[in-house]
Structure 1
Amino acid sequence: MVIAYLILCHKDPDFIYRVAKKLTVNTDNEVYIHVDSKFNLEPFKNVKTLKNVYLIEEREKNYWGGFNSVKATVNLFNNALKGNAQRFIVLQGTDYPVKSNKYINDFFEKNKDIEFCKAFNLSTSKEKKNYMKVYGYHSFDLDRNEINFKALIAKFFSLINRFGVKYKKGFYIRKETYEKYDYYWGWAQIALTRQCVKYIVEFYDNNYEFNQNMKHKFPPDEIYIPTILYNSIFREKIGKLSVISEKEATNENMLNLTYFEYPTEVKLYKNIKDIDLENLKDFLFIRKVNSESKKLLEFIDEKYSKDEF
């Protein structure tokens, strides 16, 4: 099996090089990298010396919580579909493999028809912090530090959203078919089959109004793909552990194949003592590490990225 790894990043080129090298060693795996267009591409070009590693040319200005991250992901999908991959794994710039390439490839060989994209229904949610992701109005594809009309409007609605007033439809109606789409939310780290990725790209290309609507959900990169899949035939192919009930949806059991902790804020793991490494046994990747995590990464490579782990 050939795996395409799709990485969205904006900094730490040395870490991105390390990740790309590890994911491709002794395999035919492919790595496609999107570097935020607000940042200089030059420091990342060293990855082009690696086999089957590509910096894509179609780059977006990504802002935290903005729809451009969806555009960037679709750009990665389009580039990767030109290759030979049967499995497409979306990673971000602080994700790192904790298993060997053989282990990961074997895992997907055994689960070749499963889509890893856990999510739960936001449209039927009773929790304000959840339902306001879609019933409120959000706008993040801009520099919110600038003083201009759009930034002021975005800040105004951010304040209004805190009151939990449902002033937007919490679902989407496709005009062509009158189908009602509930919105679903899950983490952005997903692993999809080739057939599924082709479906998402075709949907993106043919549903302009849906895309415009999704620009004002929060955050689009964690809602866009789950919403498409949970309202499609792929719903039945999402892993058996898929969370579709809000009651079950804790930070811990919403994880797909990437481990991280999110008690009150996302935690950066820098040292071995920062994490109980036994927690990684059921996962293929760890989230929130970088070049400052050198000793931890070396320990993972030496002790935990073995085929028998």
Structure 2
Amino acid sequence: MTINFLVIAHDSPRQLERLVEELALAGRVWIHIDGRVDLEPYRRLEEIGGATLIDRRVACAWGTFSIVQATLNLLEEVSRHGAPGPVVLLSGQDYPIKNPNDVREYFRVNSETIHVDISPAETAWPSEYLIRTRSLAVPVGSERMDVKLLGSISEMSIRGQLGWLRLLTRSHGLRRGLQWYVAAYRPRVVWASQLYGGSQWWAVPWDVMLAMLRWVDDNPRFVRNQRYAFCPDETFFPTVLHELIASQFSSYTVRKPVTHVDWSALEAEDRPRTWRVTDVPDLVARPGVLFVRKVDESKFPGVIGAIRDSW
């Protein structure tokens, strides 16, 4: 059994090296580096045995489909070149809270377990449900949360339509801006079935991963519905997995994600919580947790050392 770790990263190359080195002791590591950043500082990752930087990179904008596309690119890469075993989605600011032997043993024992957070979208985000199901999320800048939400442009006044056309072409250039304008001119494609949501982070067996890719290929209308959704990384894969559990994998056990993330901070810029050294004892004691997010050694140095000392 080979554990296939999929890592989506956009900064902190030195910390990412420490993460990949740790993961490589437990399995193979497949890494997507944000297409907006220079790849050279990350080239040292290729020297780590068992680590692969994928070539199909996407310029990732927070809250948009680009994160889903980056994940799909990783899945397609591992389906072609990986070895059968669990597939675990992580970020570059995750870190294992258990040692490599414990991680391998956990997935060996839980070989037919799907780790995913799934709830009906209206339950998961009661105040955001209409935004997530009807609005279009349009990136207008390179910073986090530089996303505008809008309905169909066709329902706006001529002045409003021209204003959006100017904003989109200024933000994305003429060709890409016109593509966004055309996409936003009509209402989003309707997905007739229930939409589900939850945490972006999941872990699935190999056969479930292959079924996910087949389901996506067989359901282009769902993909079109999600392509311009707000934060589709939190609805795309939970919905796919819900459909597959109901139709093909009802005998598999479903559990919470193996990555622990704390979204309880009041201020948006503080979410998710960045862990400190003093948090480590509580994190290590959490049952069923193999990874934590987020870890930032530039902000709170010593956390990784404290985690390793706990092993």
Same-fold call, TM > 0.5?
yes
Deviations 1:43-77 (A, max 9, x none): 00101111010000000111001101111101101
Cα–Cα, structure 1 residues 284 and 63, in superposed 2: closer, same or farther, change >3 Å?
A: same
Give the drift of 1:186.
1.0
1:50 aligned partner: 48
Cα–Cα, structure 1 residues 270 and 287, in superposed 2: closer, same or farther, change >3 Å?
A: closer
Cα–Cα, structure 1 residues 296 and 142, in superposed 2: closer, same or farther, change >3 Å?
A: same
Q: Is residue 10–residue 35 contact of structure 1 (8 Å, CA) maintained in 2?
A: yes
Deviations 1:118-145 (A, max 9, x none): 21002x5496424224333131455348
Q: Which has the higher helix share?
A: 2
- 1:120-269 matched pairs, under 5 angstroms: 120-122=119-121, 125=123, 128-141=126-139, 143=141, 144=146, 149=165, 151=167, 172-173=191-192, 181-232=193-244, 233-234=247-248, 236=250, 239-241=253-255, 256-263=257-264, 264=266, 265-269=270-274
- Say whether 1:64 aligns with 2:70: no
Q: Partners in 1 of 2:224 and 2:58 — Cα distance? A: 16
1:296 aligned partner: 303
Q: Partners in 1 of 2:56 and 2:252 — Cα distance? A: 29
Cα–Cα, structure 1 residues 145 and 213, in superposed 2: closer, same or farther, change >3 Å?
A: closer
- Say whether 1:287 aligns with 2:293: yes
**What's the TM-score, normalizing by structure 2?**
0.77
Give the drift of 1:222.
1.0
Q: What residue identity is the alignment partner of 2:308?
A: D
Give the drift of 1:297.
0.7
Among 273, 277, 289, the residue aligned to 2:281: 277
Give the drift of 1:85.
3.6
Deviations 1:51-107 (A, max 9, x none): 010000000111001101111101101111221141000001211101011101111
Q: Partners in 2 of 1:269 and 1:126 — Cα distance? A: 23
Q: Is residue 6–residue 91 contact of structure 1 (8 Å, CA) maintained in 2?
A: yes
Q: Is residue 272–residue 295 contact of structure 1 (8 Å, CA) maintained in 2?
A: yes
CA RMSD in angstroms comes to 2.9
Q: Partners in 1 of 2:114 and 2:167 — Cα distance? A: 37
Larger mean CA deviation between 288-297 and 94-103 belongs to 288-297
Give the drift of 1:259.
1.5
SS in 2 for 1:73: helix
1:94 aligned partner: 93
SS in 2 for 1:172: coil
Give the drift of 1:208.
2.5
Q: Is residue 139–residue 215 contact of structure 1 (8 Å, CA) maintained in 2?
A: no
Q: What residue identity is the alignment partner of 1:23?
A: L
Q: Partners in 1 of 2:189 and 2:281 — Cα distance? A: 40
Deviations 1:143-166 (A, max 9, x none): 34898528579xxxxxxxxxxxxx
Q: Partners in 1 of 2:3 and 2:124 — Cα distance? A: 38
Larger mean CA deviation between 262-271 and 294-303 belongs to 262-271
**What's the TM-score, normalizing by structure 1?**
0.78
Cα–Cα, structure 1 residues 300 and 230, in superposed 2: closer, same or farther, change >3 Å?
A: same
Unaligned runs of 5+ in 2: 149-162, 170-186
Unaligned runs of 5+ in 1: 154-167, 174-180, 242-254
Q: Partners in 2 of 1:5 and 1:199 — Cα distance? A: 18
Give the drift of 1:12.
0.5
Q: Is residue 188–residue 228 contact of structure 2 (8 Å, CA) maintained in 1?
A: no
2:21 aligned partner: 21
Q: Partners in 1 of 2:24 and 2:75 — Cα distance? A: 18
SS in 1 for 2:191: strand
Q: Is residue 119–residue 185 contact of structure 1 (8 Å, CA) maintained in 2?
A: yes
Cα–Cα, structure 1 residues 169 and 261, in superposed 2: closer, same or farther, change >3 Å?
A: same
Cα–Cα, structure 1 residues 48 and 152, in superposed 2: closer, same or farther, change >3 Å?
A: closer
Q: Partners in 2 of 1:289 and 1:279 — Cα distance? A: 12
Cα–Cα, structure 1 residues 99 and 228, in superposed 2: closer, same or farther, change >3 Å?
A: same
Q: Partners in 2 of 1:150 and 1:212 — Cα distance? A: 25
Q: Partners in 2 of 1:15 and 1:4 — Cα distance? A: 20
Q: What residue identity is the alignment partner of 2:281?
A: L
Q: Is residue 263–residue 273 contact of structure 2 (8 Å, CA) maintained in 1?
A: no
Q: Partners in 2 of 1:240 and 1:213 — Cα distance? A: 26
